[in-house]
Structure 1
Amino acid sequence: MIVVKSREEIELMRESALVVSRTLGMLAKEVKPGVTTLYLDKLAEEYIRSQDAVPGFLGLYDFPNTLCMSPNAQVVHGIPNDKPLQEGDIISIDCGAVKNGFYGDHAYTFSVGEIAEETQKLLQVTKESLYAGIRELKVGNRVGDVGFAIQQYCEKHGYGVVRELVGHGLGRVMHEDPEMPNYGKRGRGKKFVEGMVVAIEPMINLGTHRINHLSDGWTILTKDGKPSAHFEHDVAIVDGKPELLSTFQYIYEALGIESDEENEFRQNQLVL
């Protein structure tokens, strides 16, 4: 069942989402060769708690950490460890926080120093596909419209769109209806209505869409060992159109990047 949110609840969810956004922005300055994902995880937990929030992933379904940290061929759900990041790696950081009783949940794939050109293109296309999907999140459209837009955008570049992992509704629990696949057919699936809040999160592989599971019970990686990228935003339907609750602008500010990619999804002015 889809849980529709009031305007007041959406504003509370924006606060939760922005805790995550600020956490990722803080981490952006720390992602560098020689740093361990366990160290980044500790920083994230401390920061989230300093924001009158609690880590959303820690203990959820018995997950052991604050962040899902997935380098290179890991798709999602990687467990932080003491292995240092290396020049040329990529690292997908998925973060959740609970504030005011609502979850925020979004993700960004970072470059560790200079990365290969083909990997950089994968990151760019995956992020662009996220916005292609968000554009379809409007009253009257359906789940399949979002998935179709993401799938079409990525597959025309020859990339693999992961099938087994999907986005989801978001609210007082981490995973609500509807499931939001990154593939699909136009006009299929549940219809979007005013007040819906979802996490849209393309998980896109440089090679095959097929995946394997590690024996730790969490980590998922590409079957062919090629890199995977993951970008995620929290989005509400407000006045019939998609409105971002999360932002990558804190990341861009930390990295000295100028971007207006989010402007079309900002009905309410965001002050950083």
Structure 2
Amino acid sequence: MIELKAPAEIERMHVTGRFVAEVLTEVGRLADVGVNLLDLEHHVRGMIKRRGAESCYWDYAPSFGEGPFRNVICLSVNDAVLHGLPHDYTLRDGDVLTADLAVTIDGWAADSARTVVVGTAAEEDLRIIRATEEALEAAIEAARPGNRLGDISAAIWSVAEAYGYPVNTEFGGHAIGRTMHEDLHVPNKGRAGRGLKLRPGLTLALEPWFARTTDRIVHDPDGWTIRSADGSRTAHSEHTVAITEDGPLVLTRRDEEGRAST
């Protein structure tokens, strides 16, 4: 069942979204050569605890993972792109790091992700990050009352095609509200004018993610981390967005939005 949110409920999600944005900004600041992923994990745990928030990931056990997930943030490096399990890995110069975070505050969720380059950035890495960011902005622009769900998917796909990146359809965006995943899948590839008609009160986590040269994925032995099947590098950008009478409202926007590296 798709749940439409009242304006007051969207504002409560916005409170959560601002905190998620704050944490991801901090992770981007801290991600540097010599920093261990477990140190980032523990730093985020502290921020969540101090804010009185609750992780959506801790003890999460969906059918696609080897649950339960016992971390509060997903950290994926280089060819890893989704559900990266924080582990004992020290970041190196030129690594690409994706951080994905979802929490609830007072019962309302927000979900966001960003990809940054650690240290020296290769142009091809900046390019794929830029592509996901542009695809996300295109998706947000399409998230307007009267449009269709396919308009969002088509907007993401159009940017991917322009950059020459293939698109995986197994994992994409989703509805969000009282829980991280509500009933609605938002593919990153689709046809305009198709699907559910968008209405005010619908809240979605939109998340284009691309691998440089493949749309196929593989899972790590940890049962969670998803990588490009050919080892090519990846990027992922995500925001929680509310559809309102006045258009899309981004609930997880960061102050430094638009930067592709730390």
Short-chain TM bin: over 0.9
Distance in 1 (alpha carbons) for counterparts of 2:129 and 2:180:
25
SS of the counterpart of 1:46? helix
Distance in 2 (alpha carbons) for counterparts of 1:104 and 1:206:
28
Tell me which moved more, 20-29 or 30-39.
20-29
Distance in 1 (alpha carbons) for counterparts of 2:86 and 2:52:
23
199, 204, 208: which one aligns with 2:210:
204
217, 222, 244: which one aligns with 2:250:
244
Matched with 1:60 is 60
The percentage of aligned residue pairs carrying the same residue is: 37
Stretches of 4+ moved more than 6 A in 1? none
113, 116, 119: which one aligns with 1:113:
119
Matched with 1:99 is 105
Matched with 2:77 is 71
TM-score with structure 2 setting the length: 0.94
Distance in 1 (alpha carbons) for counterparts of 2:254 and 2:237:
10
Paired letter, 2:12? L
CA RMSD of aligned residues (A): 1.5
Q: Does the CA-based 8 Å contact 2:160-2:166 persist in structure 1?
A: yes
Shift of 1:252: 7.3
SS of the counterpart of 1:249? coil
Q: Does the CA-based 8 Å contact 1:178-1:190 persist in structure 2?
A: no
Paired letter, 2:9? E
Q: Does the CA-based 8 Å contact 2:133-2:258 persist in structure 1?
A: no
Matched with 1:265 is none
221, 230, 234: which one aligns with 2:227:
221
Shift of 1:179: 0.8
Paired letter, 2:239? H
Distance in 2 (alpha carbons) for counterparts of 1:79 and 1:52:
23
Matched with 1:87 is 93
Distance in 2 (alpha carbons) for counterparts of 1:252 and 1:46:
27
1:56–1:250 CA distance, 2 compared to 1 (3 A): farther
1:123–1:252 CA distance, 2 compared to 1 (3 A): closer
Shift of 1:248: 2.1
Matched with 1:270 is none
Distance in 1 (alpha carbons) for counterparts of 2:251 and 2:110:
9
Paired letter, 1:111? V
Matched with 1:155 is 161
Post-superposition CA distance 1:181-237 (Å, at most 9, x none)? 110011111111111100000011111111111222111100110111000001001
Please say if 1:184 is aligned against 2:178.
no
Matched with 2:51 is 51
Shift of 1:70: 0.6
SS of the counterpart of 1:178? strand
Paired letter, 2:215? H
SS of the counterpart of 2:163? coil
Paired letter, 2:50? S
Distance in 2 (alpha carbons) for counterparts of 1:39 and 1:180:
33
Paired letter, 1:245? L
What 5-or-longer segments of structure 2 have no aligned partner?
A: 62-67
Q: How many residues align?
A: 255
